[in-house]
């Protein structure tokens, strides 16, 4: 039986979609995308919600806990983080 792939990289992409010059969005509008790549080259992409800048900081602080882990152990990883 082949071994599960392991998480090799966690990258964030903060996308600035608005310069913040509009009254309804004085801070601008951003989106956060996250790409998780395994050691076998398979990857997944997701979106970070809430406050994108804060979510990105959190991901960057915790990514080292994910490197080397089984990406299919979602519940265990959630509890670990």
Domain boundaries in the chain? 7-80
Mean pLDDT within 63-69: 97
pTM for the full predicted model: 0.81
**Residue 18: both structure tokens together:** 């608005």
Please report which helix (H) or strand (E) contains residue 8, including its range: strand 7-16
Mean pLDDT within 25-31: 69
DSSP secondary structure of 13-53: EEEE---S-BTTBTT--EEEEEEEEETTS-EEEEEE-SSHH
**Residue 76: both structure tokens together:** 């265990």
Mean pLDDT within 21-48: 84
Looking at 3.30.390.10, 2.60.120.330, 3.40.720.10, 3.20.20.60, the CATH number of the domain 7-80 comes to 3.30.390.10
């Amino acid at each position: 039986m082949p071994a599960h792939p392991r998480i090799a990289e966690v990258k964030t992409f903060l996308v600035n979609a608005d310069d913040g010059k509009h009254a309804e969005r004085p801070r601008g509008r951003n989106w956060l995308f996250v790409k998780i790549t395994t050691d076998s080259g398979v990857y997944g992409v997701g979106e970070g919600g809430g406050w994108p800048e804060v979510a990105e900081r959190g991901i960057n602080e915790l990514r080292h806990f994910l490197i080397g882990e089984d990406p299919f152990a979602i519940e265990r990883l959630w509890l670990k983080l």
